[in-house]
Amino acid sequence: MVEDELRLADTVHRGLTDAGFVVELVHDGENAVWAATEHNYDVIVLDIMLPKLNGYRVLELLRARGVWTPVLMLTAKDGEYDQTDAFDLGADDYLTKPFSFLVLVARLRALIRRGGPERPVVLTAGDLTLDLTRRRVERNGREITLTPREYGLLEFLMRHRGDTVSKTEILAGVWDPAFDGDPNVVEVYVRYLRKKIDTPYARHAIETIRGMGYRLNPEGG
Amino acid sequence: MVEDELRLADTVHRGLTDAGFVVELVHDGENAVWAATEHNYDVIVLDIMLPKLNGYRVLELLRARGVWTPVLMLTAKDGEYDQTDAFDLGADDYLTKPFSFLVLVARLRALIRRGGPERPVVLTAGDLTLDLTRRRVERNGREITLTPREYGLLEFLMRHRGDTVSKTEILAGVWDPAFDGDPNVVEVYVRYLRKKIDTPYARHAIETIRGMGYRLNPEGG
DNA sequence: CGGACCTCTCAGCGGATTCTCAGCGCCCTG
DNA sequence: CAGGGCGCTGAGAATCCGCTGAGAGGTCCG
């Protein structure tokens, strides 16, 4: 979700999370383009009025980059840009502020359904599975309970499974992008995850690439 | 712009000029490679069907020469090469003929804005491959694990594969630019790399050019 | 308020990595 | 064939980096 009005962003964020969505929030156009290019979201909620790059341009950039994630635009009723623009630009749906929260959820579900079966709802790596909608992690059919942070980290690693991701990237992707604390947290949480996920298995699903970062074995370790 | 159909070339040339672009036009693949290597364009529009060298080869040659100018390819709808090929080859965008002129302008703007040209994801030299995103090195399909320094050195050599690079250049490129220690480190690390990469192969992928430096054999040794 | 849980910081340890050094040997040149 | 320059090599010292256990602070809940 890309929304700069903090109040609205917070409300919607909470509501969507309660509705079972996993929500990532950015507050301006530049971060939106970056995040959407980097991750593979199911759907993007995009406000038109944004700092740095407006929603208009964000959408344009994403499409130019070959990012075809469905986009639902939020337009102000009497703003500079009207509904026609949203569709012209390749938005998949739009809502005019103020909008009903239930309508938003319904539209999002429709978009995700429409975008369809090729989009994974469940990430897998060998015998490890992570169900994004239910927020469940299993290994070999046994459920593993994770804290929110642990879950976020695992989701990030699974989205990039097979790639080596640096601790900095992890911090930016899982922690607050502006987090500036000790990168050692990542090590600590990797440890927590390994404890829960790898034991009692022989091989580590999460490999350490010394000097570079971590890598989730696509075969699940 | 590289386009051999004079009529189309002329129209597009005029249109782009009107839209504020400064356009240089060549009509065949050989001139295209020469011009793009010599100048530093913001973006290249490249037709696939061309005399002498087709767009396909032009792109391949440019990338091999280290020219990373963004390329937008023009493909015929039902031609020998389809869209997939364009992306596979490292084209940054493509359009299928016939195309809307406005769309072309929009895409070009997007490519120029995008600025930092995409880099290739996998470098190869014979049976040696280096995957930049996964940070994996393989020879003949067998994974080779490298320390960060070794990896940095190999990446540098592979980016300049076929060129002779001096130890000073290597130090500047792989070590800290302000590094002032013994250039002997390079020799030491070349040795480490050869141990891991060349054995048990007969020929050295990394050749010593006495008095000059080193050269990575583009055929992989 | 008290306890359970979660997040994050911190500092010490030990192994991996990087770098230095000194001697050797090969190649080129005279 | 002798000598110098240059690269190669093995060993070892210094440094870096990730791992780990302990614990402090915060939050949520009863």
A25-37 tens-digit pLDDT:
888 888 888 888 7
- Mean pLDDT is lowest, of A20-24, A197-201, B86-90, for B86-90
What integer pLDDT is reported at residue B30 of this predicted model?
82
Q: A107-116 contacts: CB < 8 A, separation 24 or more?
A: A107/A72, A108/A16, A108/A21, A108/A43, A108/A45, A108/A72, A111/A43, A111/A70, A111/A72, A112/A42, A112/A43, A112/A70, A114/A70, A115/A42, A115/A43, A115/A69, A115/A70
DSSP for A130-187?
EETTTTEEEETTEEE---HHHHHHHHHHHHTTTSEE-HHHHHHHHS-TT--S-THHHH
> Quick check: B167 CB within 7 A of strand D?
yes
Percent of chain B with pLDDT over 70: 77
Q: Which of A37, A6, A4, A47 is nearest to A173 (CA)?
A: A37
By Cβ distance, the residue of B110, B133, B136 closest to A64 is B110
Q: Which of A86, A80, A82, A83 is nearest to A58 (CA)?
A: A86
Q: At A77, is the pLDDT very low, low, confident or very high (cuts 50, 70, 90)?
A: low
Model confidence at B80: pLDDT above 60: no
- Omega cis (within 30) before A177: no
What integer pLDDT is reported at residue B185 of this predicted model?
96
Q: Report d(CA B136, CA A139) in Å as an integer.
A: 26
A152 CA to C7 C1' in angstroms comes to 13
Q: At B202, is the pLDDT very low, low, confident or very high (cuts 50, 70, 90)?
A: low
Confirm or reject contact between B112 and chain A (CB < 8 A): no
Q: At A157, is the pLDDT very low, low, confident or very high (cuts 50, 70, 90)?
A: very high
Mean pLDDT of B29-52: 80
Chain D footprint bases within 7 A of protein beta carbons: 6-11, 17-22
Q: Report d(CA B219, CA B203) in Å as an integer.
A: 11
Put simply, whether the predicted model's pTM sits higher than 0.85 gets the answer no
**How far apart are the CA of B143 and the nearest CA of chain A, in angstroms?**
13
Report pLDDT digits (tens) over B103-116. Answer: 677 678 767 765 44
What integer pLDDT is reported at residue A83 of this predicted model?
47
Report pLDDT digits (tens) over A94-116. Answer: 676 666 666 677 778 767 766 53
Model confidence at B211: pLDDT above 80: yes
Find the residue in A nearest to B149 (Cα).
Answer: A211
Mean pLDDT of B212-219: 91
**How far apart are the CA of A63 and the nearest CA of chain B, in angstroms?**
9
DSSP for B61-125?
HHHHTT----EEEEEETTSSS-HHHHHHTT-SEEEEES--HHHHHHHHHHHHHH-SPPPPSEEEE
Report pLDDT digits (tens) over B169-190. Answer: 999 889 987 787 788 999 999 9
Model confidence at A198: pLDDT above 90: no
Q: At B118, is the pLDDT very low, low, confident or very high (cuts 50, 70, 90)?
A: very low
Interface with A, mutate which of B73, B133, B137, B145 (most A CBs under 10 A):
B133
B211 CA to D3 C1' in angstroms comes to 18
By Cβ distance, the residue of A61, A66, A162 closest to B134 is A162
Mean pLDDT of B6-25: 74
Q: What is the CA radius of gyration of chain A?
A: 18
Give percent helix, percent strand, percent coil of chain A, each to the nearest 5: 40, 20, 40
- Mean pLDDT is lowest, of A69-83, A161-175, B140-154, for A69-83
